Amino acid sequence: MKRAKNLYSYYMIFPALIIYSVFFVIPAITGFYYSFTDWRLDRLELSFIGWDNFRKIFSDKTLILALQNTAIFAIVTVVGKNVIGLLLAVGLNMRLRTKNLLRAIFYSPSILSILVISILFTPMLRTEGTINNLLEAIGLSSLSQAWLTNPTIVIWTIAIVSIWQSAGFQMAIYLAGLQSISQEYYEAAKIDGASSWRSFFKITLPLLLPAININLMLTLIGGLKVFSEVYVMTGGGPGNASQVVGTIILRSFGEGNWGLGTAVNTLLFVVVTIIAIPLLIFMRRKEVTE
């Protein structure tokens, strides 16, 4: 009976574990194997080719550009979403009469699909679109840009749209963290003569580490897996200027080069794992020490 009770919790997770294994673990292992083959649409038999697909990734200029764009997008969106989300949360945690309305307004874009947001922003960001017309109307025509056709800024433009769409979600997580902090800490700090800035850095940020940890993980993984907004807004263009890892994977499979596409996907998985797990461990340790 005692042994049966000890195994009871494991029995409960078996169905979920089986489903996870069938739909995630087994396909991942299979994909890892295929990334080392010449798997193509026009071939009936597979041949093991070792690291050839991965060598091609780091020798093809378009693939290297896609890796760079993915890194830029991830860094910009992680910083932007978390900084803006934290500032909004701090502002809306104050005693404002309209704070509930403002929370709803800032959170509402995150409810919409990024596909919908991308479709809405695409005509607005054209050379003759709403954004440039608005800049001209307020006397800032010098800031007008070819937002989606200028190779230099196109990936930054897409990143800003992603930040606008998701910062409200990060705000909600930070707001929940802020509301869990006891006001007694701030009252004690005020009695000791601590300024608002000192209270923020010595009380708020350390106690907000669990929320920061969650948001960093979500935004980092989401940034490295970017696909939908790039595919809808530019399709990887102009030329290949906004190609990211996700669009390269789609293009490789579309061209029938399934082995290369799987290799790119495997590389993305490895990169996400190498970055996310050490960061998660580091942030967890910071939570404990703080």
Q: DSSP class of residue 94? A: S
Residue 209 and residue 290 in contact, taking contact as beta carbons nearer than 8 Å? yes
Task: Return the amino acid letter for 38.
Answer: D
Distance, C-alpha 220 to centroid of its chain: 5
Task: State pTM to two decimals.
Answer: 0.88
Q: What is the mean pLDDT of residues 148-174?
A: 95
Domain residue ranges of the chain, discontinuous segments joined by +? 59-289
288 Cβ neighbours under 8 A, 6+ residues apart: none
User: What pLDDT is stored for residue 1 in this prediction?
Assistant: 59
Q: Is the pLDDT reported for residue 255 higher than 70?
A: yes
- Please state, in angstroms and rounded to a whole number, the distance separating the CA atoms of residues 123 and 137: 18
* Average pLDDT across the chain, whole number: 89
Helix (H, G, I), strand (E, B) or coil at 48: strand
What the block records as the tokens of 217 is 């993980």
Number of Cβ within a 10 Å radius of residue 19: 10
Helix (H, G, I), strand (E, B) or coil at 211: helix
Q: Which of 247, 248, 245 is nearest to 231 (CA)?
A: 247
Partners of residue 76 on adjacent β-strands: none
Cβ-contact 230, 246 below 8 angstroms: yes
List the structure tokens of 76.
Answer: 């910009």
Task: Read off the pLDDT of residues 195-253 as tens digits, 9 standing for 90 and up.
Answer: 888 888 888 888 898 899 999 999 999 999 999 999 999 999 898 999 999 999 999 98
Split at pLDDT 50, 70, 90, the class of 118 is very high
Q: For residue 113, is pLDDT > 80?
A: yes
What is the spatial distance between Cα 114 and Cα 168, in angstroms, rounded to a whole number?
13
DSSP 37: B
Question: CB under 8 Å to 264, separation ≥6 — which residues?
Answer: 57, 63, 245, 248, 249, 252
59-289: CATH superfamily: MetI-like (1.10.3720.10)
CA dist., res. 150 & res. 225, Å (int): 23
